[in-house]
Amino acid sequence: MSFAAINPFTGKVIAEIPAWTATQVDAALTEVAAITPIWAATPMAERCALMRQAGQVLRDNLQAYAETITREMGKLIGESRAEVEKCALVCDYYAEHGPAFLTDEAIVSDAGKSYVAYLPLGTVLAVMPWNFPFWQVFRFAAPALIAGNTGVLKHASNVPQCALAIEDVFHRAGFPAGVFRSLMVKASQVQKIIEDPRVHAVTLTGSEPAGRQVAATAGACLKKSLLELGGSDAFIVLEDADLDATVCGAVTSRFLNAGQSCIAAKRFIVVDAIAEDFVARFKAAVEALRTGDPSDAGTSLAPMARTDLRDELHQQVVDSLAAGAVAVTGCEPVAGDGAFYRASIIDRLEPGMRAYHEELFGPVAIVIRARDEQDALRIANDSPFGLGGSVWTRDSQRGERIARQIQSGATFVNGIVKSDPRLPFGGTKNSGYGRELSHHGITEFVNAKTIWIK
């Protein structure tokens, strides 16, 4: 068995990497287990220096890593470069702030001295997706390694070269061998790796079904887990919104990465008073997007990562239109080579239609019309997901009031939802649990240990 990397633009296999045997997995976990206590005992200053160097390796090889991302999963080359730069930023962020985040916390008690020490758990398994193949990994790895944990990665099967490149970043930066390993394993091998006593916690970014399976296995083993799952983010447009800025944000949020983002705006909930105007402007902006070679700076809409994902998306669209939704533009695959799907808008979604309830992971925007602000808020919360959301209004206080009522891990007012090393990131409801980034993220995989001294 092997992992085939297929270029989504050409449809051609660009690399095949053999899948590991159980013996190879055991050898890697043995190596990681041996270095784990040594890395935990490594001074914080040394861990931070190595993480800064990892950031420098990313910057020094930015174009090469960006080209690897674009070839393997189809992202626009400019987006790939931005992803690598963001990975370098998160390395710098935790190298700078990690020591303060993990400083012993003095607690007044009946002891002569008492405090909380934040100590590493051990080895963290990361099960990561293909859509941001570098960022998703560094988002976990930078805080986990700074905290003194070791990391092992099970990456998505269609981005094996990215997985190996990320391990090489840490190798080039000078991290001890075994502190971070990419395991060339299939999804069917994940359960045994979680169950292995050399693994102490697991984090997954991926689909809801995968999250349930990982959480069940981790729970049975009494191991800490963190899940960042799907999203169907609401994008509420109120009657007083600046439509020029709103439409610009709508296009960026929905069609970045060919719409393949958990925090992309997916449900455009627009009040009736301005719905026709918004849809007309949105349609014009969406139809200006151009598919093509993602390595070409002139391309504005990349292919989807795989043709099977494109076919699944199209079936969701077809079923929703058959149930009464209205096609505004697009709504069909692009003929020819590559996993392209036309930039699409579906209007007048109602409960019972697939696109109303399900996550559409691709370049399709759905419009749901609301009577007023309260109706828009009701619709926003009428979802099994709760990852992110946004509110668009000229009245920022009004937007803030609504934002506090949306059931999500993050809500942005007059801005698209994005991840930022300075802010915690994660979801509610079926979008998962736990937080990444900021000081919240680095404390997810530590033992907050009480020390009491008389």
Q: How far is CA 285 from CA 31, 97, 252, 309, 392, in A?
A: 52, 40, 10, 24, 18
For residues 292-314, give the mean pLDDT. 97
Number of domains within the chain: 2
Query: Does residue 425 fall inside a structural domain?
Result: no
What number is the average pLDDT over the span 380-398? 98
DSSP 382: S
Per-residue pLDDT at 33 exceeds 90: yes
Same domain for 182 and 265? no
CATH number of the domain at 90, please: 3.40.605.10
152-177: per-residue pLDDT in tens? 999 999 999 999 999 999 999 999 99
As a whole number of angstroms, the distance between CA 242 and CA 219 comes to 47
- Mean pLDDT calculated for residue range 126-130: 98
Catalytic residue among 83, 262, 331, 359: 262
What's the confidence (pLDDT) of residue 364? 98
For residues 53-72, one letter each, b for 16 or more C-beta atoms within 10 angstroms of the residue's C-beta and e for the rest, the string is bbbbbbeebbeebbebbbbb
Q: Are residues 56 and 20 in the same domain?
A: yes
C-alpha separations of 127 from 178, 211, 297, 399, 428 in Å: 17, 10, 31, 35, 19
Task: Give the distance from CA 126 to its chain's centroid.
Answer: 12
Residue 57: per-residue pLDDT: 98
Instruction: Determine, yes or no, domain membership for 366.
Output: yes
Mean pLDDT of 421-431: 98
How far, in Å, CA of 98 to CA of 148, rounded?
11
Q: Does some domain include residue 426? A: no
Same structural domain for residues 239 and 210? no
Classify residue 219 by burial, with Cβ atoms within 10 Å: 0-12, 13-18, 19+: exposed
Could you report the per-residue pLDDT of 249-263, keeping only the tens digit for each? 999 999 999 999 999
Would you say residue 318 lies in a domain?
Answer: yes
Question: Mean pLDDT over residues 35-47, rounded?
Answer: 98
Report pLDDT digits (tens) over 12-27: 999 999 999 999 999 9
CB 427 within 8 A of CB 408: yes
Catalytic residue selected from 83, 167, 228, 359: 228
pTM greater than 0.95 (yes/no): yes
pLDDT confidence of residue 124: 99
pLDDT bin (cut points 50, 70, 90) of residue 386 is very high
Report residue 305's pLDDT band, with 50, 70 and 90 as the boundaries. very high
The amino acid occupying position 133 is P
Half-sphere exposure of 439 (CA within 13 A, CB side): 7
Report strand pairing: 113-120 vs 446-453.
Answer: antiparallel
**What integer pLDDT is reported at residue 156 of this predicted model?**
97
Q: Establish how many alpha carbons lie within 13 A of residue 74's alpha carbon, considering only the half-sphere containing its beta carbon.
A: 34
Pairwise CA distance, residues 392 & 248, whole Å: 12
**Residue 434 pLDDT exceeds 90:** yes
Are 323 and 301 members of one domain?
yes
Encoded amino acid at 213, one letter: Q
Cα–Cα separations (whole angstroms), residue 411 to 137, 236, 321, 407? 23, 11, 29, 9
Q: Does 376 score more than 90 pLDDT?
A: yes
Alpha helices for 102-233 (secondary structure H): 135-146, 160-173, 190-195, 208-220
Mean pLDDT of the residues in the chain: 98
Q: Which of 47, 206, 198, 75 is nearest to 183 (CA)?
A: 198
Q: Hunting for tokens 């007048």 — which residue is that?
A: 348
**CA–CA separation, 254 and 308 (whole Å):** 20
Closest CA to 169 of 47, 46, 55, 44: 55
Asked if 248 is an active-site residue, the reply is no
Residue 167 and residue 53 in contact, taking contact as beta carbons nearer than 8 Å: no
Q: Which residue has the tokens 């992202």?
A: 75
- In a shared domain, residues 330 and 266: yes
Give the integer Cα–Cα distance in Å for 232 and 251.
16
User: CA 265 to CA 374: how far, in whole Å?
Assistant: 20
| pLDDT the model gives residue 1 | 79
DSSP of 176-191: PTTSEEE----GGGHH
- Looking at the structure, do residues 171 and 204 belong to the same domain, yes or no? yes
Give mean pLDDT, residues 445-452: 98
Domain containing residue 241: CATH number: 3.40.309.10
Query: Could you list the residue range(s) of the whole structural domain that residue 128 is in?
Result: 2-229+431-453
Going by pLDDT thresholds of 50, 70 and 90, the confidence category of residue 329 is: very high
267 and 378, same domain (yes or no): yes
Does residue 186 sit in the same domain as residue 287? no
pLDDT tens across 65-116, in order? 999 999 999 999 999 999 999 999 999 999 999 999 999 999 999 999 999 9
Dihedral, CA of residue 164, residue 187, residue 69 and residue 36, to nearest 10: -40
> 167 and 247: one domain?
no
- Is residue 279 located within the same domain as residue 372? yes
Tell me the pLDDT tens digit for each residue of 217-228: 999 999 999 999
- Residue 439 shares a structural domain with residue 318: no
Report whether 260 contacts 8 (CB < 8 A).
Answer: no
The answer to whether residues 446 and 333 belong to one domain is: no
Cα dihedral 334, 335, 336, 337, rounded to 10, equals 30
* Distance between CA atoms of residues 424 and 434, nearest Å: 9
For residue 276, what pLDDT is reported? Answer: 98
Query: C-alpha distances in angstroms, 434 versus 139, 174, 195, 264, 326?
Result: 13, 30, 21, 20, 37
